[in-house]
Amino acid sequence: MATLNIRNIPDDLYGRLRRCARESNRSVSEVVVSALERELDRLEWQEHLARQPKTDLGIDAATLIAEERRRRDLELGGPDRPETPA
């Protein structure tokens, strides 16, 4: 296993790392390795998504979501439900 030394860590960042380690009953090293893994996973996923071809649905996502919410509200008796005679 490799060793990584990091210099010039701001005091407030190191304090946050120590607090996180203490609260999760882990070492500062374990917290740092976990944070690095999460960040690298996130960056790799963004790169993966950026390589995917764009899909044009012919309508923007916000409109699709709004339409689906209206349909759901109608089914569940939400605010857009037509009034029924009493």
Phi-psi region of 77 (alpha: psi -120 to 50; beta: other; left: phi over 0): left
**What's the CA gap between 69 and 81, in Å, rounded?**
12
Tokens 């790169």 -> residue: 47
Q: What is the pLDDT of residues 16-73, one digit of tens each?
A: 999 999 999 999 999 999 999 999 999 999 999 999 998 888 888 899 999 999 999 9
Structure tokens at 30: 């374990």
